[in-house]
Amino acid sequence: MKGRKGLLRFLPLSAMLLFLAGCGEDRLTALDPYGPQAQWIFDNMILSLYVMALVIIVVFTLFFIAVVKFRRKPGDDEIPKQVEGSKTLELTWTIIPIILLVILAVPTIAGTYYLAEEAPEAAGSSGEEEGEEAEEAADAAAEGEDAVVIDVTGHQYWWQFDYPEGFTAGNEVYIPVGEKVWFNVTGNDVIHSFWVPALGGKIDTIPGVENSLWLQADEPGVYKGKCAELCGPSHALMDFKVVALERDEYDAWVDSMSQEEEAPEENSVAAEGRQVFEDQGCIGCHAVEGQGSAQGPTLTNFADRDYIAGVIDFNNENLEEWIRDPQSFKQGNNMQPYPDMSDEDMEAIIEYLNTLSVEDEE
């Protein structure tokens, strides 16, 4: 009776866990793939579940048959037939697991080569090829010229994305839809893990080591990314997002990010904010359209973002609190606090930061 009451106590908790299992953010799950790499991972995960389910069903079926059919009956004192050394049984439970392993191994090995594909080189034909070889070389060169290769650096606790066009983005990476995009990843301080669940697998960013992977988004939209390696007290807040655009929109965004900064109007609040931005040393860590250092996230398109520091809702009140005390939002981050900045300077720098947009230029 006590045991039954004890089990009843766990029913509310079990029900809550069941409902919580259905919670989650859109495009932040490997169970809802939006790209070929993610689809491959999902398909092979389902295949593994089918194999495991088959094994469980067979094992439990045999178990219950043995328990029911061959249980000891009253007056049954005979010793069951001994089957040790049976070649038939030995071969059976050796061959069946081998078959199951082959079923899992073949797609796994094929997928390893598929996912390890390297970025095409933007190199033209040497002039020695003829016929089909020359055409293939030309196609490879064209593909290499159009290929998007982005360098990724993991920092505590933000992501740096360096584009081949020469500009840098922070915490938000833009890619063209329907194309493979290659990421060369490394770490700046400790080991992080670059992961976009809805688009593909994860890969470690290790200081001094460059790893690479490719991702592809089949549909335009925003895909959430996470650091999947414990890297410090604010590891859970090391988020980023992947924005997939149609090719023409992507090219327009790249052009906007590559343009030089337009100076704010003279004697405006934004112009005063730009001066405060320089006087306070912010430009020493946060570059704006190529000017300044990229020790911290680049702010070229800061006003286009939905979040401050990747996790805080974008509004002026939160921005002021972040500038005055960033540790209250992200413990262990390297941004310098400005608790004593005057209200006038704070108002001016916020006004300036709100002008940093590339979408308005399109």
Percent of all residues in the chain with a pLDDT value above 70, rounded to a whole number = 85
Least confident interval from 83-92, 133-142, 193-202, 297-306? 133-142
| Residue 360 pLDDT level (bands cut at 50, 70, 90) | low
**pTM score:** 0.80
Q: What is the pLDDT of residues 110-149, one digit of tens each?
A: 999 998 888 776 433 334 445 554 455 445 444 556 789 9
DSSP class of 360: G
pLDDT band with cut points at 50, 70 and 90 for residue 358: confident
- pLDDT category, 287, cuts 50, 70, 90? confident
Of 30-44, 65-79, 183-197, 205-219, minimum mean pLDDT range = 65-79
**CB atoms closer than 10 angstroms to residue 283:** 16
| Cβ–Cβ under 8 Å, residues 156 and 234 | yes
Q: Is the pLDDT of residue 247 over 50?
A: yes
Given this model, what pLDDT does residue 120 score?
76
- Closest listed residue to residue 153, CA positions, set 206, 226, 230: 206
Strands (E), 181-284: 181-187, 192-195, 202-205, 211-215, 221-227, 239-245
Q: What is the pLDDT of residues 153-183, one digit of tens each?
A: 999 989 999 999 888 888 999 999 999 999 9
Instruction: Return the closest-CA partner of residue 296 out of 176, 202, 171.
Output: 171
Q: What is the mean pLDDT of residues 248-267?
A: 80
Q: Is the pLDDT of residue 46 over 80?
A: yes
Mean per-residue pLDDT for 89-98? 90
Asked if residue 299 lies in contact with residue 288, where contact means CB atoms within 8 angstroms, the answer is yes
User: Whole-number mean pLDDT of the chain?
Assistant: 84
Q: Is the peptide bond before 113 cis (omega within 30 degrees of 0)?
A: no
CB 355 within 8 A of CB 272: no
Which amino acid would we find at residue 158? W
Amino acid at 228: A
Judging by beta carbons within 10 Å of its beta carbon (0-12, 13-18, 19+), is residue 67 exposed, middle or buried?
exposed
Give the closest residue to 204 by CA, choosing from 231, 224, 239, 229: 229
CA pair distance 287, 91, nearest whole angstrom: 67
Same fold flag, 147-258 and 269-354: yes
Estimate the share of the chain in helix, then strand, then coil, as percent rounded to the nearest 5.
45, 15, 40
Q: Which CATH architecture has domain 147-258?
A: Sandwich (2.60)
Q: What is the pLDDT of residue 209?
A: 94
Residue 252 has pLDDT above 60, yes or no: yes
How far, in Å, CA of 186 to CA of 150, rounded? 11
How far is 338 from 345, CA to CA, in rounded Å? 11
Segments making up each domain of the chain, as ranges? 147-258, 269-354
User: Looking at 136-150, 190-204, 256-270, 302-316, which range is the least confident one?
Assistant: 136-150
What homologous superfamily is domain 269-354 in, according to CATH? Cupredoxins -  blue copper proteins (2.60.40.420)
Residue 208 has pLDDT above 90, yes or no: yes
At 130 the pLDDT is 52
Least confident of 93-97, 292-296, 316-320: 292-296
